[in-house]
Chain A
Amino acid sequence: MAAQLNALNSDSYIDISRYRDQRFAGQLTTQEKLLKQSHTLYVGNLSFYTTEEQVHELFSKSGDIKRIIIGLDKVKKTACGFCFVEYYTRADAENAMRFINGTRLDDRMIRTDWDAGFIAGRQYGRGYSGGQVRDEYRRDYDPARGGYGKFAPQTQFQEGQNTF
C-alpha cells in the first residue's frame, strides 16, 4: 500500500549524529551521504580490555558481521577503547543502532554512531599521547581506560601520594 503517514515513520535511532570526522577527505555533503548509506558503525566507550570476540558476540545479534577493526593506541599499538563494526547489509547496521547502541558491553554503556567507512590508518587514536582524544582531557578515574586522563590535573598529585 503506497499511502503512509509521515509522522509514523519516525526512526530517530538511525539518524546521523552531529559528529563529523574532521579528517574526512572530501566535502561535508559527501561525508553525510556516505553516513546515510553506511554499513559501518563506530563503537565508543569500550573498555581497553574488551576483546574483538566480545564485540563480535554482541553485535552479531543484529546480523552477520563482515569485519571488526579494534581501535589502537598509535604509540603502544594496544586497544584504546573504540572499534569499527562493519555489516554486510545496511539493515543489520540499523538494527544495531536501534537495539545495541546504549546498552552494555563488559559492564560499560557503549555508544554506536555511523561511520563513513574504514580506511587504513583510521584504526589509530588521534590523541597526542596515542589514545583517543577524549582520554587526553578526561578528569575522572576510569580503571578500564587507563585510569586518569593524560593531561588531567590529578595526575600530578597521583604520583607522590599514598592511596587512602
Chain B
Amino acid sequence: MPRRRRDSDEYDGDRGHKRRRTSEPIEIEDRLESLIIRVGEKSTSSLESNLEGLAGVLEADLPNYKNKILRILCCVARLLPEKLTVYTTLVGLLNARNYNFGGEFVEAMIRQLKETLKNNLYDEAVYLVRFLSDLVNCHVIAAPSMVAMFENFISVTQEEDVPQVRADWFVYVVLSCLPWVGKELYEKKDVEIDRLLCQIDGYLKRRVKTHVPMLQVWTAEKPHPQEEYLDCLLAQIQKLKKDRWQERHILRPYIAFDSVLCEALQHNLPPFTPPGHMPHAHYPMPQVVFRMFDYTDAPEGPVMPGSHSVERFVIEENLKYIIKTHWKERKTCAAQLLSYPGKNNIPLNYHIVEVIFGELFQLPAQPHIDVLYTTLLIELCKLQPGSLPQVLAQATEMMYMRLDTMNTTCIDRLINWFSHHLSNFQFRWSWDDWSDCLAVDREKPKPKFVKEVLEKCMRLSYHQRIVDLVPPTFSGLIPASPIFVYKYVDESASSLPGYAMSITVGNAIKNRASNDEILTILKEVPNPNQDDDDDEGETFNPLKVDVFLQTLLHLAAKSFSHSFSALGKFHEILKNLTESDDGKLHVVKVVYEVWRNHPQMISFLVDKLIRTQIVDCATVANWLFSQDMAHEFTRLFVWEVLHSTIRKMDKHVQKIQEELERAKDKLEKQQHKRRNSGDGQDVDKASDEDEDMDKSSDEDEDVDKSKARSKAKSKGAEDEEGQLEEQIDKLQEKVESAQSEQKNLFLVIFQRFIMLLTEHLVRCETGGVDISTPWYKNCIERLQQIFLTHHAIIQQYMGTLENLLFTAELDHHILAVYQQFCALQL
C-alpha cells in the first residue's frame, strides 16, 4: 500500500510536475496571465489600487515581456467581456505611461478584429469593438476615429444583395457599444451620432421581421412583450439619449484615474473597412429578448431596471458572459454570478433567474447543454438558501400561469427542467396550487404540462412515489404504471390466432433453441394476409412478427439490459422478419403495443432497433405519423423519439463523411510522399521502417539494397494508393447514399406534417370552426421545432423542399412556418 500511495503522489498536480521541468519564460507568462486575469478579485485593497499596482508591474516588465503582455491583454479583451472596463482602465494607465505601447496595443486589437471576422467569430468581434470603444473613455483612442469606424459599420446597411443578418450584426455592434461610450462620443460628435442613430432607425424600420414569431417564447404581448432584439436595443439607446446619456450601472474604474488619463496622448484608429460578404460567412441568428420579470415582481429591496433601460441590457449581457466564461465549473459560475459588481443596486437574484431561463428557452437552441442550467440553479440555491429558492418558485408559478401562450418547444424544456429540479428536492411542490388545471380539457397546456412533469418525475423515481406525492384529485394526471402488456398472457387469450405458437416459441427460447430452429418454428405461423394461392413469394406476415416479438420482449421485460440483450441474441431472426418495409413498421408497432405504458422503454428499444439496423429512421418517422399513433401525437415522448431519430441519422452521415475525409487526407499524404521520393535520389529520405534496417553492410551493397528497396517501396506505394482510391470511391458512394436517406427522412416528415395540417385546416374551414385547437397549436409548433432544431442540416436540402413541398399552393398557415425558417438566415 505505501508504495502505491507514493506512486499516485508523483502523478498528482500534473501541471506542477510539468512546470518544474519547463524553462523560465513559460513560468513568467503564467504569472503574468494570473496577475492580469485575477486583478481585482478577492482583494482587501480597492480595485483602483490593484490596477495602479498592476500597471506599475507591467510597465516595468514591458522592456522584456512586451509581446507576452500584448498577447495576454488582447486575449482578455476577447475572452473576458464581463470585466471590460477593468481592462480598458489598465490599458489606459499603460498608455499614459508608455504611448508607444498604447499604439501597439491598438494595432494588435485591429489585427485581432480582422481575424475574428474572417473566422466567423462574431461574438468575440463584438467584445473587441466594445473594448476599443471603451478605450475612448480611457483616453487611448480619439473619439472622432471611433465614430468613423461606426460610420463604416453602418454603411453596410446600404449594401445590396447581402443577407439581412449581415447588416443586422454591424448595427448590433454599434448600438451595443453606446451604453459604454455614448456619452463621450456624443459630447464630441453629436451631429454624427445623431445621423448614425437616424440611419439605424431607418434600417430597422425597413427590415424584414418574418422570423420573430418563430423565436418568441411566449406569443402573448402581456405582461412582457417578447421583442425583436435590435428593436429593443434601439429603444434602449434612444431612451439613454433622452436621459442625456446618463448611465449609472456600468462600473467605470477609469473615472478614479481621470487626472492621470486625460494627460495621456490619444491614438487614432486606422480607417477600418468592414470585410465584404463571403459566401461561407455564418452570421449570428436573430434573437428575441426574453423577459419574465419587471419591477413589480421584486417585492422589496432595489428596483429592477425597466425593460427599455440600458442598465437592463448591460446586466443581462454581463451575466450571460459570466456563464459563458465559467460554464464548465458550476460552483465557480454560481459564485461569480452572485458576486456580480453592482449587485447592491439591483434585485440580482431576479436578474440571474431571468437570464438563466432566457438561455434555457432560447430558440433555436440553448447556448449550453440543458442540464447545465438545472445544476447551476441548484448551486445557486445552495449558496443563497434564504432567497433564491423563493425567486425560483415564483418564476415557476409565473411560467405555469402563462403556459397557454408558451411555445411548445419551450414547454418541453420547462418540463425537463422542472422534473429534474424536483428530483433533487424530494419532489416537494405545492401541487394543490395548480388544481385549476383539473377543471379543463386534458389536452390544454396546463393539465398537459402537469401530466408530462409527473411522467418525467416517475422516470426518475417509481410509480408509487408519484401516487403518494400528488393530492388524490390529481389521480387523473398520474402516468400509467409502466407494465408490459402481453397479448398472449394466459388462457384467456387462447382464442387468438397466435396463442399456441407463442407458447411453442416461448419454450424454444427458454430452452435455448438455435436461431435456425426458431425460424423453422416460425415458418409454421399462418399468414392472415396471404390468400390461399398467392404465389408472390414471401409476403409479409404480421402474425409471425407479432408472435415472435411479443413473446421475446415478454421474456426479456425485466430491464433495459435484458431487452437489449434479447435483441442482440435474436438479431438474425429479427433481420429475417424485417426484410420488407412492412415488416420493419410492424416490429415498431409491436414494441409500442406491448410497452405502451412505458414510453421510456419504447424510446430505448426504438433507439436500439435503429442502431442495430433492424429498422430504418424512415420507418420510425412513418410510424409516429401513422393513424395508429394519432392518439399519442401530442405526447412528449413521441417527439423525443423523432428528434433522437433525426439526430442518429445526422451522426451516421457525419461519421461516414469523416471517414471519407480521413481517407482523402491519407491519399494526399501518400501522393505527396511519393512525389517527393520519386527521383530515387532521396535514399536519405527513407521512411522510419528503413532506419531499422542493417546499416553495417558494405557501402555498395547498401546503395544497391536501397535502390531495390525504394523501387519496391514505390511499387508498394502505388498499390496502397490504388487501394486508397478504391476505398475513397466506396466511401463517396456511402456518403451519397446516406445523404439521400437523410433527405428522404426529412421529406417523409415534412410531407406527413403537411398532410395532417392541411386536413385539419380544410376540415375546420368547411365546418366553420376556429382552427386554433390545442392539437393545432401543438402540431404547427412541432413543425417549427423540426426546422429550428435541425436547421443546419435542413438548409442543405432547401432546394428540394421548396420545389417539392413548400410551394405557393400550400395553405398560408403552413407556408408561413417555412418562410419564418428561411428568414432566419436571410
Contacts and interface: CB of A to CB of B under 8 A. Distances in A.
B7 interface: yes
A1 B76 contact: no
A106 B33 CA distance: 43
Name which of A5, A6, A95 has the most chain B CB atoms within 10 A of its CB.
Answer: A5
Contacts of B325: 8
B30 A53 contact: no
A10 B374 CA distance: 21
Nearest to B419: A57
Contacts, number: 112
A85 interface: no
Contacts of B601: 53
B312 interface: no
Contacts of A28: 7-8, 11
Interface residues of A, number: 40
A20 B600 CA distance: 35
Contacts of A159: none
Contact of A61 (B74, B124, B420, B607): B420
Nearest to A57: B459
Contacts of B119: 1
B561 A68 contact: yes
Contact of B116 (A1, A12, A103): A1
A136 B116 CA distance: 58
B448 interface: no
A7 B33 contact: yes
Nearest to B9: A18
A142 interface: no
Given A6-B30, A8-B37, A11-B329, A52 B559 contact: yes
A20 B8 contact: yes
B671 to A, nearest CB: 28
A54 B79 contact: no
A99 interface: yes
A98 B4 contact: no
A107 B457 CA distance: 12
A99 B333 CA distance: 12
B822 interface: no
B564 interface: yes
Contacts of B559: 51-53
Contact of A53 (B71, B121, B560): B560
B424 A103 contact: yes
B365 interface: no
A99 B371 contact: yes
B72 interface: yes
A43 interface: no
B393 interface: no
B640 to A, nearest CB: 10
Interface in A1-41: 1, 3-8, 10-14, 18, 20, 22, 28, 32
Interface of B: 4, 7-8, 11-12, 30, 33-34, 37-38, 71-72, 74-76, 78-80, 112, 115-116, 119, 121, 124, 325, 328-330, 332, 369-372, 374-375, 378, 416, 420, 423-424, 426, 456, 459-462, 559-561, 564, 600-601, 604, 607, 644
8 contacts: A1-B115, A3-B75, A7-B30, A8-B325, A12-B329, A51-B559, A61-B370, A106-B461
